[in-house]
Structure 1
Amino acid sequence: MLSLLLVVSSGRMTPATVVRRFPYSSPYWPVLSNSLLRRILPGLTVSALGDGMAVVAVSWLALQLASPGQRGLWVAIAVAAYTVPSVVGTLVFGRVLGGRNGAQLAGWDATLRAGTLAAIPVAYLFGALSLGLYVTLLAVSSLLHSWGSAGRYTLIAEVLPVRDHLAGNAVLGIIAEMATIGGPPLAGLLISWGGAIWVIAIDAATFAVLALTYRLAVPAADRPAPAQTGASRTAGFGVIRRNRSLLGLLTLSFGFFFLFGPVYVALPLYITDELHASATLLGTYYMAFGAGALVGGLTVGYLRRRPLWVVTIGIVVGFGLTMLPLGLGAPVSLSLLSFAIGGAVWAPYMPTSMALFQRSTTAANRPQVLAANGAVTVVAVPAGTMLGGPLVSALGAHETLLFCAIAIIAFGVIATGLTVLHRLAPPVGDTERE
């Protein structure tokens, strides 16, 4: 206080001596005020909304194209085709895309998505859209999905200092959560008006906007030069395999998402078979989760001074705890509140885990590592969802929810123990730099 009075009395008030006020004091201000990101974020928001609508449209169009006896099968195939082939793309294009800068990776993904998704309504208009062609186009559209995700987080690491990576990741997460809340209801309205095919067309248009955004808003002069590496197709997996911290983080993410997967099967059956309620209640649960996730996403930037490993593992344990009321058959009002809290706990996981990856990699290997991480985690939830059917048949719906909750808690506790042992062990060449 004395030093502040001396500065004021001397008339040498500097910006550093002035208390920063909102929004300048917000951890998100460096992200939103960054000249390059400010040009990209509107395109990302539009594209995220389109992808939020596609969550409904992809499965709905499969329902319309399939025969009544095969609808369930083709819906599952279509949903999987929209994400899972990115694993193949990570391996096939590793040598070509490894070392490219973030804007290029994200832009190429958006371009491929725009082109292949636009081909779906074009084929429909010409009467040539079969189920086989539909699924094939969805699969091709997703080939660069892991690289696109890696590109976005690589771009954050390229243009922001380390202290702002978490806030930058959080902004990407907030955009995705907002799209998850607004996209599906909007898709429902558009489908009732014109059909699912036009929602796919809109999704293609939003990716075209995003591709143009990367092309025009990030001119070549502003793009970091590609890292010249002779990386193999599996270079990212190799880096993760040799680094115990990264391998542990990837294992944590896969296990967390895998153990949540059965919820997508158990929750609808719990609502219909045990609560004897309608799809409206299921939508209410998802809406509560999304609203909680949006609130949780807004708090992520304020975690930057916390030890991120502790926060990331704590999220896993905390989320499992919020699932317990559902598994124990609590009243709907209590389980809805708990599910909303679960969304708030879930939301910071991706930003914090991505920040750990960003800190533990170099500019040369970061795109490959992030793409490898995306390739593995993208199959975790679908794999867990496939497990949900046998689990519900064997245990029952709310028992499966309870199993998932306990398994997630146990998984987080085990991860905590292994992390403590890793911290106590002598270093063996890991490159983590937290």
Structure 2
Amino acid sequence: MTTAPAATNSSYRDVLRRDRRVTGLLLGDLLAQAGTGMLIVAMPVQTLAIHGNVPAAVAIGLVEAAPFLLSTVLALAISLGRFSAPPRLLLLADCVLRAVTFTGLGLLAVTGRLTLPLLIGGLLLGSVFRMAGASSRRLLATSMVGEADRFAVNGLLGVGGNFALLVLGPVAGGLLVASAGAGWALFADACGALILLAAVLWCAPRSPAPAREVKPHRESGWRILRRRPVARRLLVVVFFFNFLYMPIEVALPLYVRETLHTGASGLGLLWTALGVGALVGAALVDRLRDLPQRPLLITIVALWALCPIALAGIGSQAAAMVAFGIGGLIWAPFTPVAYSFLQSGLRPDEQQPVVTLWTTGSTVAAPLGLLAGGPLVAAAGTHPSLILSGVLTLLLAPLAAWSVLTARDPGQGAAGV
């Protein structure tokens, strides 16, 4: 079975040097996600300040899940139905709505009028286009390059996202929360949305090639995946991989407070350690471009499972940062490798429905995992929840092996999707 690409994939450097528009779009995406990365630290702190009679773990789970709920409905309409909109338009709508809504939430926060229901409601409404925007970023960027450059662009999206969400954002968020308050991070995310808005208007073409080739009566993403068993099975693996990770996000603020005995600064340092590891891992994706991708994906799932298990047995800030950093190194290549693997077997007219469905299926695991993670952490405790997350993810590895190694799809692309 052939699992490695037949054609030579371009390197990061080649892609960045060749196309300034792609570079500009990637830079805008990086800066926008830095604002979102600040919320990783700020929103749990803000939630703990306003949760009232709601249990802290449950309140954190609700706040973390809110941005995904309505955005899932829209993304499913795009991926499973016949509703279609150009990726560029969807991303612009996401930027505008986030900028307006998060500015309003920021004003309420800094004036002391923000309540838990208002925060949850604002995150629900302001993130309607979040999931469609996430898939549109990838579709826009990969549509601006040739097939040989797609792996590098997916990898660069991972590098920028990991650096912004897990290094730059949490560091800046921790400093901002400590010096000015958690509410100011909402303004930072709004500013990031405006930066991405400008980058899309300036760099992204109005009619990317795939959008012009979409059929008048296109197939749904699910119908396309039915013809590709490996891609469909791998979507199940990706869903549970993300679902089982989410209780960690609920447990982490409590782990920092109860076990490490630190506050926002300690949480920011942990996310920074994860981000540094993820940044290194994303950079190494460039070196993995010619390796068989199916075994690589399985290995990532198995090794990441050991991270939360190790974290549960650690009681010092420094050791926890090392464990989380190694986890980031292992986890980072998963998304760019998985999407490159998927896209290599799709026709241009199949890209939007399938990529949006994949993004939806993998991302919808987040709110479900967070909603399950809140009661789990509240009932079982922080350390048992971390161990359970790791053990169940470790059991997912054999399922991943069966899913991607036992079948070969008809009409698949070079990567063997």
The bucket for the TM-score relative to the shorter chain is: 0.7 to 0.9
Tell me by how many angstroms 1:123 deviates: 6.4
Q: Deviations over 1:64-119 (max 9, x none)?
A: 5x46323735543332222332111113455676362x433323322222233234
Q: Counterpart in 2 of 1:87?
A: 72
Q: Is the Cα contact below 8 Å between 2:103 and 2:190 reproduced in 1?
A: yes
> Which residues in structure 2 correspond to 1:190-229 (within 5 Å)?
190-220=176-206, 225-229=211-215
Q: Counterpart in 2 of 1:342?
A: 327
Q: Counterpart in 2 of 1:165?
A: 150
Question: Matches of 1:124 and 1:406 in 2, distance apart?
Answer: 39
Tell me by how many angstroms 1:314 deviates: 1.5
**The one of 35, 40, 43 aligned to 2:20:** 35
Q: Counterpart in 2 of 1:250?
A: 235
Q: Is the Cα contact below 8 Å between 2:75 and 2:131 reproduced in 1?
A: yes
Determine if the alignment matches structure 1 residue 45 to structure 2 residue 30: yes
Determine if the alignment matches structure 1 residue 295 to structure 2 residue 306: no
Question: Matches of 1:414 and 1:154 in 2, distance apart?
Answer: 29
Q: Is the Cα contact below 8 Å between 2:110 and 2:183 reproduced in 1?
A: no
**The one of 63, 69, 73 aligned to 2:53:** 69
Question: What one-letter code is carried by the residue in structure 2 that aligns with 1:27?
Answer: S
Q: 1:120 to 1:226 in 2, by over 3 A?
A: farther
Question: Matches of 1:323 and 1:120 in 2, distance apart?
Answer: 33
Q: Counterpart in 1 of 2:363?
A: 378
SS at match of 1:140: helix
Question: Matches of 2:107 and 2:260 in 1, distance apart?
Answer: 42
Question: Once structures 1 and 2 are overlaid, which stretch shifts more, 300-309 or 390-399?
Answer: 390-399
Q: Is the Cα contact below 8 Å between 1:258 and 1:381 reproduced in 2?
A: yes
Question: Matches of 1:398 and 1:192 in 2, distance apart?
Answer: 26
Q: 1:271 to 1:103 in 2, by over 3 A?
A: closer
Question: What one-letter code is carried by the residue in structure 2 that aligns with 1:189?
Answer: L
> Which residues in structure 2 correspond to 1:3-402 (within 5 Å)?
27-33=11-17, 34-63=19-48, 66=50, 68-70=52-54, 72=56, 73-92=58-77, 98=84, 100=86, 102-121=87-106, 131-179=116-164, 180-220=166-206, 225-230=211-216, 235-267=220-252, 275=259, 277-279=261-263, 282-327=267-312, 336-389=321-374, 391-392=376-377, 397-402=382-387
Q: 1:50 to 1:228 in 2, by over 3 A?
A: same
Q: 1:301 to 1:43 in 2, by over 3 A?
A: same
Tell me by how many angstroms 1:316 deviates: 0.6
Q: Counterpart in 1 of 2:6?
A: none
Gaps of 5+ in 1: 1-24
Question: What one-letter code is carried by the residue in structure 2 that aligns with 1:227?
Answer: E
Tell me by how many angstroms 1:276 deviates: 6.1
SS at match of 2:349: coil
Question: Matches of 1:329 and 1:67 in 2, distance apart?
Answer: 28
TM-score by length of 2: 0.83
Question: Once structures 1 and 2 are overlaid, which stretch shifts more, 378-387 or 304-313?
Answer: 378-387
Q: 1:341 to 1:59 in 2, by over 3 A?
A: closer
Question: Matches of 1:404 and 1:123 in 2, distance apart?
Answer: 35
Question: Once structures 1 and 2 are overlaid, which stretch shifts more, 412-421 or 275-284?
Answer: 275-284
**The one of 372, 394, 406 aligned to 2:391:** 406
Question: What one-letter code is carried by the residue in structure 1 that aligns with 2:121?
Answer: T
SS at match of 2:69: coil
Question: Matches of 1:178 and 1:230 in 2, distance apart?
Answer: 39
Question: Matches of 2:187 and 2:279 in 1, distance apart?
Answer: 27
| % identical aligned pairs | 28
Q: Counterpart in 2 of 1:12?
A: none
Q: 1:133 to 1:404 in 2, by over 3 A?
A: closer
Question: Matches of 2:175 and 2:305 in 1, distance apart?
Answer: 34
Number of matched residues? 402
Tell me by how many angstroms 1:270 deviates: 5.3
Tell me by how many angstroms 1:297 deviates: 0.9
Q: 1:304 to 1:295 in 2, by over 3 A?
A: same
Tell me by how many angstroms 1:244 deviates: 0.9
SS at match of 2:395: helix
SS at match of 1:422: coil
Question: What one-letter code is carried by the residue in structure 2 that aligns with 1:30?
Answer: D
Question: Matches of 1:402 and 1:186 in 2, distance apart?
Answer: 30
Q: Is the Cα contact below 8 Å between 1:297 and 1:348 reproduced in 2?
A: yes
Question: Matches of 1:149 and 1:185 in 2, distance apart?
Answer: 23
Q: Is the Cα contact below 8 Å between 1:98 and 1:231 reproduced in 2?
A: no
Q: Is the Cα contact below 8 Å between 2:42 and 2:182 reproduced in 1?
A: yes
Question: Once structures 1 and 2 are overlaid, which stretch shifts more, 297-306 or 115-124?
Answer: 115-124
Q: Counterpart in 1 of 2:5?
A: none
Q: Deviations over 1:185-222 (max 9, x none)?
A: 32233344444443322321221221122112235377
SS at match of 1:70: coil
SS at match of 1:84: helix
Q: Deviations over 1:295-315 (max 9, x none)?
A: 111100111111112211211
Question: Matches of 2:260 and 2:114 in 1, distance apart?
Answer: 38
Question: What one-letter code is carried by the residue in structure 2 that aligns with 1:380?
Answer: A
Question: Once structures 1 and 2 are overlaid, which stretch shifts more, 387-396 or 309-318?
Answer: 387-396
Question: Matches of 2:54 and 2:308 in 1, distance apart?
Answer: 33
Q: 1:433 to 1:62 in 2, by over 3 A?
A: same
Tell me by how many angstroms 1:144 deviates: 1.4
Question: What one-letter code is carried by the residue in structure 2 that aligns with 1:278?
Answer: T
Question: Matches of 1:133 and 1:334 in 2, distance apart?
Answer: 37
Q: 1:264 to 1:137 in 2, by over 3 A?
A: closer
